[in-house]
Structure 1
Amino acid sequence: MTQCPHAAAAAGSGAVDLSSPRFQADPVELYRSIRRDHGAVAPIVLPGDIPAWLVIGYRELHQLTSDPVLFSRDSHLWNQWPRIPEDWPLKPMISDDQPSILYTVGERHSRRSGMISSALEAEDPFGLKEHTEIFADELIDAFCTAGTTDIIASYAMMLPVRVLAKLFGFGDDKGPALVTAMNDMINGGPDALAGQRHIGASVYQLVAARSADPGDDVASRMLADTSGFTDEEVARDLMVMMAAGHQPTADWIGNSLRLMLTDDRFAASLSGGRHSVAEAMNEVLWEDTPSQNIAGRWATRDTHLGGCHIKAGDLLVLSLAGANSDPQVRTDGSVLTGGNNAFLSFGHGDHRCPFPAQEIAETVARTAIEVLLDRLPDIDLAVPAEQLTRRPSPWLRGLTDLPVRFTPTPALGGQR
């Protein structure tokens, strides 16, 4: 194992380039290589040769996320801000101007997190499942007579935001445009800014409408909370919740279906076996988690982590995928059996994904897969498995497409 260098010298010390295509092609082998060369904490470089640390040790990541005083979510602490240009590609993700739940710290974060958790927890789980089934059937109706489709584009990337929009308080007529805007924003390109503006304008309109006329929805519950947050703060958090809830859930659906369509262990579930769906989803969170690496935490003072000297203001990137593959917790492979949920795919500590949000994501993903297998029981890959490609990102891991074929079936037309 090499000695950890100071982060400021990372670019010239064998640091890992976070934009490396190896994060897309074979992250398991990459994390194994990083662990062998650097240990549980490794120097990395972000775009523009900006230094940071990647925490891939399970124990170290647990320690980091359990100590918000030493490792803060306050991005203003970053010692690299003088080097960051205005057009830096990661600035939307790592910003010094983020008035949302993501970068709130201390007691105010606890109150804000409690507001969000309470609003989500009040959702009726049976209603959530019903809404998901309705939207899933509507999407499947659009391609079930064709005998072939791309499950990512026509299903996985279309469903989560529709359900979230319903829960937040949007009318069903607003759903399709929100789907288009969200996917434009995520995919980048010429329509990304327009998509972002549409999401923002729609959320602010929703907050104004629910302030005047509350309903039984997430936005109304957040606005009714007595913790003292403004309409502006509620709107910001709703935008974060929609973005954070959509893409990882879509990838969870896609990654789970890929596993079920390519691994003989899950063949039985393609004829309606429900237990195998849960097993596949659990295995994906260990082996192929949608949220791979998360930025980040900032050291509030000089310290040590995983044998590395971390300077005050250094950025630490949380490698959820790296920690999940740590051999210290994977000694006999038993983590994949018995519904073991000690994975760090939803984070850990004060800034983890709220438990009600995790439950909503699981319900949406599982219902989406079950409805699809019920409707198209003989679904199969339309291309060899080795031709499937991943999105070129070290942050979120998902398929670019998942072509499938099946026996054409009639549309339900709202009748289940």
Structure 2
Amino acid sequence: MDTDGLARLFGPEVANDAPGFFERLRAEHGPVAPVLVDGDLPAWLVLGYRENLEVLRTPSRFSHDSRIWHCFKENRVAADSPIMPALAWQPICIFMDGEEHERLRVAITESMARFDRRGIRRCVTRAAHQLIDEFAGDGQSDLVSQFAEQLPLRVMTQLLGMDEESGPGLVEATRDLLKGTETAFQSNEYLVESLRRLVAHKQASPGPDFTSWLMTHSAKLTDEEVVQHLRLVVIAANENTTNLTANTLRMMLTDPRFRASLTGGSMTLPDALEQMLWDEPPTAVAPARWATGDTELAGQSIKEGDMLLLGLAPGNADPVIRPDLSVPMHGNRSHLAFTGGPHECPGQDIGRAIVDTGIDILLTRLPDIELAVPESDLKWVSHWIARHLTALPVKFTARSPECGTASASSPGSVVPRQNALQEATTIGTDLEGETSAPASSVDAPRSRSSWWARLEKWLRGK
């Protein structure tokens, strides 16, 4: 690949206007564009919706094994490069294909399937109340730093069997390593060491948690495989769920289409989540796939060992499938936000439960919440993987903390399944995590949540 004049994914244009950057590349190169990553290393950025699916669904042509990347083979990637934590091969399922991928994937999905979905919601409810209690009396808050960035790992530390005090440090480390900063390597080391201590603790004292279930699964994962898969879960849960929470709250506070739909009763919170997953997927660019041989994609000549980055955000905005981006996508889950194919995100339903329940609790507690600054003052920071809202200042009527409303549940309330078939019927999911219970189920999508009527009444009075 001729690298002269290629756009840089680590450049200022991405940081200042990632959507515009993607569209410029699409106009210049079509559905697949040549780009440079850190160190001026060449890669292909897949911009088209169909082309992304083609890469995702054909691991025989586009492997997950980063060791075949010619830049690794040629020793062109610095050991402390900020892209190393995301691209360096590790003994985890996202870097594997075939039988070994299936062994590890089954261990993850079956361990996740042991959670009682209502137990997860109880964890989210408890964590959300704790966070809201910290700022409810102030009459103002930054919903990014005080809510969206804190909630996912408050929940995940419980699900993994960690103490709650571990959350803040893990939040900082995971966000730093994904930003590709100069300290990304050290942040990754901090995260891995924390998880190694957790595995050692669970060997001596197992419990009803994801870590213990993964360690004792019949797939017989090694300790290092367990640690690396816990790292994967923590990063994915924090990054994706934080962004989805912040983006959905921002849309609810600023988007006229949302308010018009809300007052008309045509949009529910699950609708809002799916709209955000189309318009602003929490991960804009997903690393990565590597060509197993010389091939062609959208007219581009891909060589063996070339790296392809999955443009989930530009893929969702592909004019071939969405000629009018203003048309609502309610109820349509065919977006690329959780990728697709054999490596589709196994924890997406847990992520949805965290966002859905967390926002429901927030708006029930603070129904008159509104943006405290002009929308034009909101700012984002972008890097090659994602675009983050830096702050979401809001104001509301100050209220006393409601400690008594917080669930008294502990991590033990997230109970393992004793009879998978029976519990699948009870909690509203089958073994693959798809909704299967009738509309009266506790976990069935709610056409009207408790805060909805309050918020609609408030909006109509504006």
TM-score (norm: length of structure 1): 0.90
Contact 2:83 2:180 in 1 (8 A): no
2:49 aligned with 1:64: no
2:399 aligned with 1:406: no
2:379 aligned with 1:379: no
For the residue of structure 1 that corresponds to 2:26, the secondary structure is helix
Q: Deviations over 1:169-190 (max 9, x none)?
A: 1234544554455456556779
Give, in whole Å, the separation in 1 of the partners of 2:384 and 2:183. 23
Structure 2 vs 1, CA of residues 289 and 309 (structure 1 numbering), >3 Å: closer, same or farther? same
Contact 2:161 2:211 in 1 (8 A): yes
Unaligned runs of 5+ in 2: 407-462
Contact 1:248 1:396 in 2 (8 A): no
Structure 1 counterpart of 2:217: 225
Q: Deviations over 1:114-143 (max 9, x none)?
A: 110111121111111111011111011111
Displacement of 1:269 in angstroms is: 8.9
Contact 1:270 1:373 in 2 (8 A): no
For the residue of structure 1 that corresponds to 2:19, the secondary structure is helix
Question: 5 Å matches for 1:182-261?
Answer: 182=174, 195-261=187-253
Structure 2 vs 1, CA of residues 335 and 204 (structure 1 numbering), >3 Å: closer, same or farther? farther
2:40 aligned with 1:45: no
Q: Deviations over 1:303-362 (max 9, x none)?
A: 1011010010001111001110111211355873331011001111122211xx000000
Structure 2 counterpart of 1:3: none
Q: 1:87 aligns with which of 75, 80, 92?
A: 80
For the residue of structure 1 that corresponds to 2:206, the secondary structure is coil
- Code of the residue aligned with 1:401 in structure 2: it is A
Structure 2 vs 1, CA of residues 179 and 64 (structure 1 numbering), >3 Å: closer, same or farther? closer
Structure 2 vs 1, CA of residues 45 and 190 (structure 1 numbering), >3 Å: closer, same or farther? closer
Give, in whole Å, the separation in 1 of the partners of 2:236 and 2:275. 21
Contact 1:376 1:406 in 2 (8 A): yes
2:145 aligned with 1:153: yes
How many residue pairs get matched? 403
For the residue of structure 2 that corresponds to 1:26, the secondary structure is helix
Structure 2 vs 1, CA of residues 338 and 268 (structure 1 numbering), >3 Å: closer, same or farther? closer
Contact 2:195 2:231 in 1 (8 A): yes
- Code of the residue aligned with 1:72 in structure 2: it is S
Question: 5 Å matches for 1:17-36?
Answer: 17-36=8-27
Contact 1:120 1:218 in 2 (8 A): yes
Contact 2:66 2:95 in 1 (8 A): yes
Structure 2 counterpart of 1:117: 109
Displacement of 1:210 in angstroms is: 2.4
Q: 1:346 aligns with which of 338, 346, 355?
A: 338
- Code of the residue aligned with 2:77 in structure 1: it is I
Displacement of 1:268 in angstroms is: 7.3
Structure 2 vs 1, CA of residues 274 and 226 (structure 1 numbering), >3 Å: closer, same or farther? farther
Structure 2 vs 1, CA of residues 176 and 24 (structure 1 numbering), >3 Å: closer, same or farther? closer
User: Percent of aligned pairs with the same residue?
Assistant: 38
364-373 or 192-201: bigger deviation: 192-201
- Code of the residue aligned with 2:55 in structure 1: it is L
For the residue of structure 1 that corresponds to 2:84, the secondary structure is coil
Give, in whole Å, the separation in 2 of the partners of 1:113 and 1:212. 25
Give, in whole Å, the separation in 2 of the partners of 1:334 and 1:243. 31
CA RMSD of aligned residues (A): 2.4
Structure 1 counterpart of 2:355: 365
TM-score (norm: length of structure 2): 0.81
Give, in whole Å, the separation in 2 of the partners of 1:338 and 1:191. 40
Q: Deviations over 1:208-262 (max 9, x none)?
A: 2323333211111111211132122111111111111111100100011111111
Contact 2:47 2:314 in 1 (8 A): yes
2:321 aligned with 1:329: yes
16-25 or 391-400: bigger deviation: 16-25
Displacement of 1:73 in angstroms is: 0.7
Give, in whole Å, the separation in 1 of the partners of 2:176 and 2:46. 31
